[in-house]
Amino acid sequence: MGSKAVAPEKIVTNRKHSYTIPCASTFRDETSSLADRRGVNVADLARSVVLVIAPEIIDAYPDPGGPDGDDRETVILKSGSSKGRPWRRKPRLQVRMAPGYMIETLRRALAMTLAADKGELDIRIDGIGDIEPAPPPEAALLRQARAEIARLRSIISTLSFQPLDGGIRSRDEALHILGFPPGSLPDQSILKSRFRTLASIHHPDSGHGSHDRMSQLNEAMDHLRRGAA
């Protein structure tokens, strides 16, 4: 008598679990907005972190936690005897992912995606994963300021006058040193203003000044004062 064949049990390979993640309403809104902007769902955001970043690194990231006691949202019940009635509940995010994750882990993973989107966190994939905090905004501003200072020093060096050999022997040469065209007739207030500006640049104590240029500025100013006397 032959035995009855038994069909093999169907293997489920795409099991997913629905996670309810309590969170602040602002966290929920920011996360949902990020997912919309990226054309994905919230689960995709969480999955992008938990699949490539080492668990111990995710667990070390600050958990934004659940909502405060007065942070609630109103929903309309869609089933049961209370269908159609409003219900006040804690804000939450719903994600469907593979089973086995802790709610805190998924909330941390979503917080990391928000921080990365704001430029507050660099996620570097190196082996199983690594995190390197983004440099603070002050560091970037300091680099920009240093680059701008170097650029201005280069401009000053290029535009600075070359001291005249033998000193100043005419009014036109004095005007040239102070940056005026030959034959011009600036009054004393304009001369003093121009001298103070150039002295602030060329004084040896300014950091990019020159003793020779400063001496010739003084000489030019004296020459023009004597000519006006």
Q: Are residues 113 and 161 in the same domain?
A: no
Q: List beta partners, residue 124.
A: 130
Q: Are residues 124 and 159 in the same domain?
A: no
Convert the pLDDT of each residue in 10-69 to its tens digit.
444 457 899 999 999 999 999 999 999 999 999 999 999 998 888 999 999 999 999 988
Count CB neighbours of 110 within 10 A: 28
Q: Are residues 63 and 90 in the same domain?
A: yes
Q: Are residues 169 and 103 in the same domain?
A: no
CB half-sphere exposure, 71, CA atoms < 13 A? 14
What pLDDT score does 209 carry? 74
What pLDDT score does 3 carry? 47
Convert the pLDDT of each residue in 58-110 to its tens digit.
999 999 999 988 888 877 777 667 677 777 788 899 999 999 999 999 999 99
Per DSSP, the three-state class of 55 is helix
DSSP 57-85: HHHHSPP--S--TT--EEEE--SSTTTT-
Whether 7 is covered by a domain: the verdict is: no
Q: Structural domain of residue 98, as residue ranges?
A: 17-134
Q: Are residues 128 and 22 in the same domain?
A: yes
Whether 24 is covered by a domain: the verdict is: yes
Q: Are residues 55 and 118 in the same domain?
A: yes
C-beta of residue 115 within 8 angstroms of C-beta of residue 121? yes
Residue ending a domain, choose from 102, 134, 166? 134
Q: Are residues 145 and 181 in the same domain?
A: yes
Q: Are residues 111 and 149 in the same domain?
A: no
- Which residue type occupies 74? T
Q: Are residues 184 and 121 in the same domain?
A: no
Q: Nearest 5°: phi and psi at 169?
A: -120, 0
Q: Are residues 99 and 151 in the same domain?
A: no
Whether 6 is covered by a domain: the verdict is: no
C-beta of residue 176 within 8 angstroms of C-beta of residue 161? yes
Pick the more confident residue, 171 or 2: 171
Whether 11 is covered by a domain: the verdict is: no
Q: List beta partners, residue 97.
A: 17
* Number of structural domains found in the chain: 2
Q: Are residues 93 and 47 in the same domain?
A: yes
CATH number (domain holding residue 169):
1.10.287.110
Angle at 228 between CA 223 and CA 229, to 5 degrees: 100
Q: Are residues 190 and 167 in the same domain?
A: yes
- What is the percent of the chain where pLDDT is above 70? 82
Count CB neighbours of 88 within 10 A: 8
